[in-house]
């Protein structure tokens, strides 16, 4: 799944950052003869090391969908813990009051110090939960996107981390990080306003239904990450939720429903509920121009009608048949519905070496012969089932696949 172009971009970004950092270090060493390179390295680690480690922990691909929200909560809690210590330590009266409370309980100075941290974290945790709910509401109202939440979390984290180093000058300095974050949000808001004006006349949005063999696991997740980076700039992605993409597609409001034990209301209950959910499907871009993933949670008695209705409503259908074999009975139903109800010009199947090619071709031939007279494929002058063989060792495979889908869909309109 490595992409040489992406690697080169990452190397270029790191290289530019390194050049700027070295340039600042050279100027600092020239202006201060007492400063040493070792001290500069220590300062960078002290100022940026904890934030970088925390960011890497919460931005791993497996937790990236919910990482920004968890990170925002943790930043709020840690800020409260630091403020509690600084606030109490700034007043001799408050310090004596804290000792007076801790002494009857037999608390040592270290235990009291830890307890003050925990107290500040808990108090700020309440504010953190309110912040999460506010983020969830903004996401539902399309005032924020998943990528903007990730970038916001990064800016907020490093803003607070950098401001913590200033609290020795006074506890109020902790708010400089939030002030910097506010300036960043103002600049982003102005930029997004211009982007929205440019895209107001865009009416060529596409919706893609992604079907796959759930047993693919992480292979399905890797494909989705590559696919979403490209397709979501053109249109939305519709899919039926499954365990293979649970960490990749969870949205902020779904995460909050999970924490509040309200996730059951996300499941499709019946046909009327499905029609209601379809009428509310999100096909408009977020402020940053990216579209969203419309995820449908289904029970065993609702997934088939959901799949059929999504196929009819979506502009294009992409079905991942890697590892397909006679054991995948649910895929047989999907293939039958696609060949019977959806024009082949809108469908693309992709396979690889793990696909049972002989069984697949036999199945497609049998299902095509059994379609009813209302099938749109009977009216095609030359109906053709398109099998796209891929390796997905590079993003070029996905780009070629999506170009084929978009070109075919545009031509069939």
- What is the per-residue pLDDT for 2? 45
Q: For 260-265, what is the mean pLDDT?
A: 66
| 311 vs 74 pLDDT, higher one | 311
- What is the per-residue pLDDT for 206? 80
- What is the per-residue pLDDT for 269? 87
pTM for the predicted model, two decimal places: 0.71
- How would DSSP label each residue in 240-295? E--GGGHHHH--HHHHHHHHTT-GGGGEE-SHHHHHHHHHT---S--TTS---EEE
CA distance 113 to 333: 62
| 87 vs 268 pLDDT, higher one | 268
- What is the per-residue pLDDT for 203? 47
Q: Write out pLDDT tens, residues 313-330.
A: 888 899 888 888 887 777
Q: Is 55 helix (H, G, I), strand (E, B) or coil?
A: helix
- What is the per-residue pLDDT for 61? 65
Q: Write out pLDDT tens, residues 165-181.
A: 776 677 678 788 888 88
- For a pLDDT cut of 70, what percent of the chain falls above it? 82
Is the pLDDT assigned to residue 120 strictly greater than 80?
A: yes
- What is the per-residue pLDDT for 264? 67
CB distance 348 to 388 below 8 Å: yes
Phi, psi values for residue 207, rounded to 5°: -120, 135
Is the pLDDT assigned to residue 201 strictly greater than 60?
A: no
**How far is C-alpha 27 from the geometric centre of its chain's CA atoms?**
39
DSSP lists the bridge partners of residue 293 as 237
Average of per-residue pLDDT values in the chain: 79
Indicate the burial class of 279 (C-beta count within 10 angstroms; 0-12, 13-18, 19 or more). Answer: exposed
CB distance 163 to 176 below 8 Å: yes
> Please, what are the domains in the chain?
57-197 (no CATH), 206-412 (3.40.50)
Is the pLDDT assigned to residue 115 strictly greater than 80?
A: yes
Q: Write out pLDDT tens, residues 99-113.
A: 787 778 777 877 888
Lowest-confidence range among 118-122, 222-226, 346-350? 222-226
Q: Write out pLDDT tens, residues 215-255.
A: 666 777 777 887 888 888 888 889 888 765 656 666 666 66
- What is the per-residue pLDDT for 6? 57
Q: For 296-311, what is the mean pLDDT?
A: 88
- What is the per-residue pLDDT for 291? 87
Q: For 62-67, what is the mean pLDDT?
A: 68
How distant, in Å, are the alpha carbons of 101, 117, 160, 175, 234 from that of 86?
A: 18, 10, 15, 13, 49
Phi, psi values for residue 287, rounded to 5°: -55, -30
- How would DSSP label each residue in 74-131? HHHHHHHHHHHHHHHHT-HHHHHHHHHHHTTTT--HHHHHHHHHHHHHHHHHHHHHHH
Could you list the beta-strand ranges (E) of 163-213: 206-212
- For a pLDDT cut of 90, what percent of the chain falls above it? 2
Number of Cβ within 10 Å of residue 108's Cβ equals 10
Is the pLDDT assigned to residue 160 strictly greater than 70?
A: yes
């Amino acid at each position: 799944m490595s992409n040489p172009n992406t690697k080169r971009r990452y190397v270029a970004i790191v290289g530019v950052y390194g050049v700027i950092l070295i340039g600042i270090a050279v100027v600092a060493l020239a202006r201060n003869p007492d400063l040493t390179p070792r001290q500069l390295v220590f300062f960078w680690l002290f100022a940026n090391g904890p934030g970088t480690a925390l960011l890497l922990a919460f931005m791993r691909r497996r937790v990236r969908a919910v990482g920004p929200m968890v990170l925002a909560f943790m930043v709020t809690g840690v800020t409260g813990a630091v403020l509690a210590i600084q606030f109490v330590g700034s007043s001799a009266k408050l310090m004596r009051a804290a000792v007076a409370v801790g002494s009857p309980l037999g608390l040592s100075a270290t235990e009291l110090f830890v307890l003050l941290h925990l107290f500040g974290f808990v108090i700020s945790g309440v504010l953190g939960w309110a912040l999460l709910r506010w983020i969830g509401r903004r996401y539902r109202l399309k005032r924020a996107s998943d990528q903007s939440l990730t970038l916001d979390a990064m800016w907020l984290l490093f803003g607070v981390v950098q401001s913590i180093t200033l609290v020795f000058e006074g506890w109020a300095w902790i708010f400089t990080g939030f002030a910097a974050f506010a300036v960043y949000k103002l600049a982003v808001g102005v930029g997004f306003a211009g982007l929205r004006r440019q895209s107001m006349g865009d009416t060529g949005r596409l919706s893609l239904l992604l079907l796959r063999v759930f047993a693919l696991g992480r292979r399905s997740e890797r494909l989705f990450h590559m696919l979403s980076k490209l397709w979501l700039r053109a249109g939305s992605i519709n899919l039926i939720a499954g365990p293979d993409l649970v960490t990749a597609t969870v949205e902020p409001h779904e995460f909050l429903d999970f924490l509040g034990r309200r996730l059951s209301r996300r499941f499709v209950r019946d046909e009327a509920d499905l029609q209601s959910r379809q009428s509310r499907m999100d096909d408009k871009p977020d402020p940053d121009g990216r579209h969203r993933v419309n995820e449908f949670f289904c029970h065993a008695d609702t997934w088939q009608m959901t799949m059929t209705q999504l196929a009819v409503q979506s502009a294009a259908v992409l079905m991942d048949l890697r590892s397909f074999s006679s054991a995948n009975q649910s895929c047989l139903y999907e293939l039958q519905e696609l060949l019977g109800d959806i024009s082949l010009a809108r469908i693309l199947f992709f396979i690889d070496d793990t696909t049972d090619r002989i069984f697949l071709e036999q199945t497609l031939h049998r299902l095509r012969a059994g379609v009813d007279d209302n099938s749109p494929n009977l009216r095609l002058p030359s109906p053709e089932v398109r099998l796209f063989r891929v390796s997905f060792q590079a993003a070029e495979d996905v780009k070629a696949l999506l170009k084929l889908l978009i070109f075919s869909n545009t031509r069939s309109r």
